[in-house]
Structure 1
Amino acid sequence: MRKQNSNGGENVLVLGAGQLGAAVLEFLVPAVTKRHGRVSVIVSPGSRDEQGKLVSDTHQKLANAGAEFIAVDVAASTPEALKTHFADVDTVINCMGFVAGAGTQIKITRAVLEAGVSRYFPWQFGVNYDVVGKGSGQPVWDEQYDVRTLLRGQSATEWVIVSTGMFTSFLFEPAFDVVNLANKTVNALGGWDTQVTVTSPADIGRLTTDIYLHQPRIVNDVIFIAGETTSYRKLAETVERVTKQAFTRNVLTLSALQDALRHNPDDPMLSYRAAFARGEGVWWPMHDTWNAQNNLPTQDIAAWLKTAL
């Protein structure tokens, strides 16, 4: 059921305004406002100071552009409480990620469906959970598979999944330890020919807005986007070419990572490394992506790294 506001524009609610949420909002707010719609954003109560002022300059800029910020502790909220925030919304775009803890994505999805939201973009800005399935060694990925099952088991709410692969920046996250710029090491997950798809948050924000606006309207579909699909061998070559430095190369085999995980089952970065080392559902060919098919340029790893350096 469409709940468009009196001007005929859509009421869009974005959950979260972190790295991804802010990137989505940068493109979404002007696009929705231009169409006489309204964008609200749910952020944590800690996003405002004691005077009620938004702490983040990024959030304040988005508020100045027309986004309305609402403070809600999503992790502590019941599905019934969340439903009240979703009641007058046409589209929910979930950029909340895994920070809110296990079970939160299922809880949000149930609340969206029960509130009768017309269209939902779930937090699936990652790998292809249909291929990964359950039992990847990454418990939050199991939950993502369950979210898809829940959405496919109903017909009242339209859904759009945007599969992005890994955030490009995550390849260079010291804690993830794939490319460690400080130590000049590249650790291949699984093997040098294992592949991975990455997209920058800025590209995800722009393309998600394009997908949201696209006519004819995209309904009940998984859309694949990518900045680049690469092997770890090619990644090492790219890093050395851009930095003009030699890097020590190591392989973290799947069996070694699974052994380590047995000894440290609660290490989230270890479980991510093991899940990506499987090489299943974590990459797709560039020619299959929505951006390639629509001739929309995206930032590859070399371009991202030049900007970051």
Structure 2
Amino acid sequence: MSTNSILVIGAGELGTAVLEGLAKHPAFVSSSSRTTTTLSVMIRASSMDGTTADPAKQRHNAYLRDALGVSRFVPGDIGRDSVEDLAAAFRPFDTIICCAGFGDAFPAGTQLKISRAVLLAAAAAHSDGDDGNNITKRFLPWQWGMDYDAIGTGSAQDLFDEQLQVRALLRGERDGAVAANEQEVAALKKVDWVIVSTGLFMSFLFRADFGVVDLPDRTVRCLGAWDTEISVTTPRDIGVMAAEIALRPGAISNRVVYVAGDTASYGRVAELVEERLGVEFKRETWDRDKKLAEAPGDVMLKYRNCFAEGRGVAFDIAETVNKQRGIVLQDVRSYLKEMEI
């Protein structure tokens, strides 16, 4: 019987959703499976039982352990630990799914460091023979978002450039801002990576600081134009699809795939909001250049501007893994129906 030891990095909103997706997936719960799958999670040592005095963290750890079957808590700080330290932590695991490390909470270069650590762990496993186990590492990096290839370098959101550097590394590119060294190129033969583009988290459409749907002010704003489209997926559904891809990869290997609960124009979002509330909303077009000029260092404004461009932020539903596999995800209408407004 083969094994698949899975490590999820991070146990926040997305990490928990991915662990839930894995724990509930038929391939994990089926007793007839020929693969024994185990779940582990990497969190900071300060958040672990025996260290943390925070009751909320203790309850969350208990939920992960008792309800989801997490068998091991691995101490790690992806922002501070070295590539070598992370590689040593990753070394025992067959599948690594990164659900932390993007944005202001972590130093620039964190995602690149994690990716290099996965390659180093794969190289070490191959060198040591991995005790007779499968020595190929499966890696789902933090790319839960846009199609960064389509957006390209130099976008308003400079954090996106690092996502492109991760892709370049995993593709074994030897030039550009990030060059894979000889060891990393060799290790790529033992890493089966999948980048999952999911669009925007659904909840962002309704966040006041994001600015698209302002429920208290009864206003909907478009980023760019009313017919500009955007793809959105709930974290819960990202967890469902991450589990599907990790446990039933099929032909998905070393490439970018797409997942989306819905792809809709800003005009369609406005219609759905009005349908849900039964009242007319004011509609405004966001002047992205003016806003960014007023606050050039505003991370949310830079993030929002990328959506206004309409490039790499909307996926054809027919091309998504969920559509191709007949998995129904939550769309904007059903999300609004569940919202407490």
Q: TM-score normalised to the size of structure 2?
A: 0.83
- Counterpart for residue 3 of structure 1: none
The one-letter code of the counterpart of 2:309 is: R
Q: Distance in 1 between matches of 2:257 and 2:239?
A: 14
Q: Which residue of 1 aligns with 2:229?
A: 195
State the shift of 1:83 in Å: 1.0
Output the TM-score relative to the length of structure 1: 0.91
8 Å Cα contact 1:13/1:91 also seen in 2: yes
Distance 2:41 2:276 in 1: 37
Q: Which residue of 2 aligns with 1:239?
A: 273
CA distance in 1, matches of 2:101, 2:280: 35
* Deviation for aligned residue 1:70: 2.5
Q: Which amino acid aligns with 1:290?
A: V
- CA contact 1:48–1:55 (8 Å) conserved in 2: no
Q: Judging changes above 3 Å, is the alpha-carbon distance between structure 1 residues 166 and 215 closer, same or farther for their aligned structure 2 residues?
A: closer
Partner residue of 2:69 out of 38, 46, 66: 66
1:94 aligns with 2:103: no
- CA gap of 1:217–1:11, structure 2 versus 1, over 3 A, is farther
Cα distance in 2 between the residues matched to 1:260 and 1:215: 42
Amino acid in the other structure paired with 1:111: A
- SS where residue 304 of structure 1 aligns? helix
Q: What secondary structure sits across from 2:56 in the alignment?
A: coil
Code of the aligned partner of 2:218: K
SS in 2 for 1:37: strand
| Distance change (3 Å), C-alpha of 1:196 and 1:97 | farther
RMSD: 1.9
> How many residues are matched?
300
**Which deviations, in whole Å up to 9, do the C-alpha atoms of 1:189-219 show, x marking residues without a partner?**
0111111000111111111111112253521
Alpha-carbon shift at residue 97 of structure 1 (Å): 4.2
Q: Which residue of 2 aligns with 1:137?
A: 156
> Are 1:300 and 2:302 an aligned pair?
no
How many angstroms apart in 2 are the aligned matches of 1:149 and 1:251?
36
Which 10-residue stretch deviates more, 212-221 or 299-308? 212-221
Q: Quick one: distance in 2 between partners of 1:186 and 1:47?
A: 39
Q: Does 1:278 align with 2:309?
A: yes
Provide the C-alpha distance between the structure 1 equivalents of 2:158 and 2:12, rounded to a whole number of angstroms: 22
| 1:33, distance to aligned residue in structure 2 (A) | 6.5
Query: What pairs up with 1:20-99 in 2 under 5 angstroms?
Result: 20-31=14-25, 32=28, 35-48=35-48, 51-52=51-52, 55-56=56-57, 57-64=59-66, 65-67=68-70, 68-98=72-102, 99=105
* Partner residue in 2 for 1:152: 171
Question: Per-residue CA shift, 1:10-34, capped at 9, x if unaligned?
Answer: 1111111111111110021354465
| Partner in structure 2 of residue 287 of structure 1 | 318
Q: Which residue of 1 aligns with 2:6?
A: 12
> Could you tell me which amino acid in structure 2 is paired with residue 12 of structure 1?
I
- One-letter code of the match for 2:38? R
The alpha carbon displacement at 1:50 in A equals 6.2
Q: CA deviation at 1:52?
A: 4.4
1:185–1:249 Cα contact (<8 Å) kept: yes
Kindly report which structure 2 residues correspond to 1:115-130, keeping only aligned pairs within 5 A, or say none: 115-116=121-122, 118-130=137-149
Q: Distance in 2 between matches of 1:137 and 1:46?
A: 35
CA 1:295–1:37 in 2, change beyond 3 Å: closer, same or farther? closer
Question: CA contact under 8 A between 1:212 and 1:218: conserved in structure 2?
Answer: no
Q: Which consecutive residues of structure 1, in runs of 5 or more, have no partner in the other structure?
A: 1-6
1:184 aligns with 2:215: no
Report whether the alignment pairs 1:103 with 2:112: no
AA paired with 2:198?
Answer: T
The one-letter amino acid paired with 2:6 is V
Distance in 2 (alpha carbons) for counterparts of 1:18 and 1:85? 19
59-68 vs 79-88, which deviates more?
59-68
- Identity percentage of aligned residues: 41
TM-superposed deviation, 1:133: 0.9
Q: Residue in 2 aligned with 1:4?
A: none
Work out whether residues 240 and 247 of structure 1, in 8 Å CA contact, stay in contact via their aligned partners in 2.
Answer: yes
Distance 2:305 2:284 in 1: 15
C-alpha separation in 2, matches of 1:47 and 1:263: 39
Pick closer, same or farther for the CA change 1:182–1:97 going to 2, 3 Å.
farther
Structure 2: any 5+ residue segments left out of the alignment? 123-135, 173-184
